[in-house]
Amino acid sequence: MRVLLIATNRHDRLMSRMVARPLPIGLAYVAGALAASQHEVKTLDLMFSDDYLGDVERAIEDFEPGLVGISIRNLGNHSYLDPQWALPISKEVIDKVRSITDAKIVCGGPAFSILPKPIFSYMEPDLGIAGDAAEAFAQLADNLESGAFHHDVPGLVYRQDGEVVLNGGRCASAFAIPPRLDDLDMHKYAQAGFGIGIVTKLGSFYYPTSAADAKAQEASWRVIRPIDDVLAEVRDMDQRYGLRKVFFIDNAFNIPTAHAKELCQALIAADDIKTHWNTCLAPFDCDPELLGLMKQAGCALVIMGGMRGEPHDGSGLGERLEPMVEACRRCEEQDLHYTISVTFGEPGDTRRTVEEKLDFLRSIKPAVANLRIGVSILPGTDVAAQALAEGVIEDEVDLIKPTFYLAASVRDWIVDDLQAEAAKYPRWNLF
């Protein structure tokens, strides 16, 4: 079967300021699995397109696919000051595809997997797949081509008797089949952010910001890839594309610590690997030995999630800040560049807690400090429960659009105060 995969992400800023165009690596894994199943695959990436709907039309007319996969990476840009909703572009693409071909349309991707049923209702594809979809999409293509029953595909979303149905939970992938990168402009991506993405391990659909988060997540990683596979992909990036800057896609590179150290030691021992890399770091459990190994293995920058906006009563803020201060200090001692994010206006914030957070930011030396106004609400979180209780949202279905929680105790003054404060510090990014 001819399968056209379309990466619809066109958002090119991280934290509203830094240029960052992430390679659609998840879709590349889907393409790899489809090719391994003997399907003819073409990937259309709209990131660099000047006429994305025209490109969609031309690709369909030239390739004549029997199945079209639509990847939805983001719900929005998580910016309170300049909120941008990402789904309408993907919806435009689906409508354009529908106007040209009778091929079945399947939605998937990270954003789709957060709220699969509401997004399915909004986007109106024929089918959807929630989760890490490489093997599941290949199975779906096999079944559709042969005419076999397909509603048992893991993570499948479909409409039955007027209702949207999700088959079980999210599907899983071992990321064992190499990604197919042939149709992607690798050299443009190399110049467009923190490096070409390589999956090392994945936990939940968010980044842990406390030791409790990490322990819960460690027991249920979506995938921990074999270190030899990661190294093989790093070598492939260099040998095929001459790329020596990568981003290890990892919710928390330092958790579990033993795995992180083993990967660093393998990179150091590999004489044929001279790669510089960046990754995400949980702001705790950052022992000096690990940070030293990361630096020696080629790590240039770590992105620390900091505070993502948990409800609190204000009394325990010092305990929350302490491990972050320690992590930042240790990065500075190792001369390891880092960015950090701190949320203002989370449930329980007051003028006092806001000032404590600002004091923390003034005391450290990050490459960039990201000051988040409000909490970008995600379903199933404590903040979502708080937002429901306070009437900020009526239902979690509302969260397909950019929605923020901003504590009433700071709402009237927080934007003006933070804008005035951020203007004093060139490395502070307010969004």
Residue 222: its pLDDT value, please? 83
pTM of the model: 0.93
Digit-by-digit pLDDT tens for the chain (431 residues) are 999 999 999 987 655 566 778 999 999 999 999 999 999 999 999 999 999 999 999 999 999 999 999 999 999 999 999 999 999 999 999 999 999 999 999 999 999 999 999 999 999 999 999 999 999 999 999 999 999 999 999 999 999 999 999 998 899 999 999 999 999 999 899 887 788 999 999 876 544 445 555 554 455 678 899 999 999 999 999 999 999 999 999 989 998 899 999 999 999 999 999 999 999 999 888 899 999 999 999 999 999 976 656 677 666 688 889 999 999 999 999 999 999 999 999 999 999 999 999 999 999 999 999 999 999 999 999 999 999 999 999 999 999 999 999 999 999 999 999 999 999 999 999 99
Which domains, ranges and CATH numbers included, belong to the chain?
A: 2-166 (3.40.50.280), 186-430 (3.80.30.20)
DSSP character string of 284-350: S---HHHHHHHHHTTEEEEEE---------STTHHHHHHHHHHHHHHHHHTT-EEEEEEEES-TT--
Cα 260 to Cα 147, 236, 247, 286: the distances in Å are 45, 21, 14, 11
In the chain, the largest separation of any two C-alpha atoms, in whole Å, equals: 64
Please give the Cα distance from 153 to 108 (Å, whole number): 13
Helices 25-36 and 134-146: crossing angle, nearest 10°?
Answer: 40
Which is nearest to 164 in space by CA: 212, 104, 123, 218?
Answer: 123
What whole-number distance in Å separates Cα of residue 237 and Cα of residue 320? 39
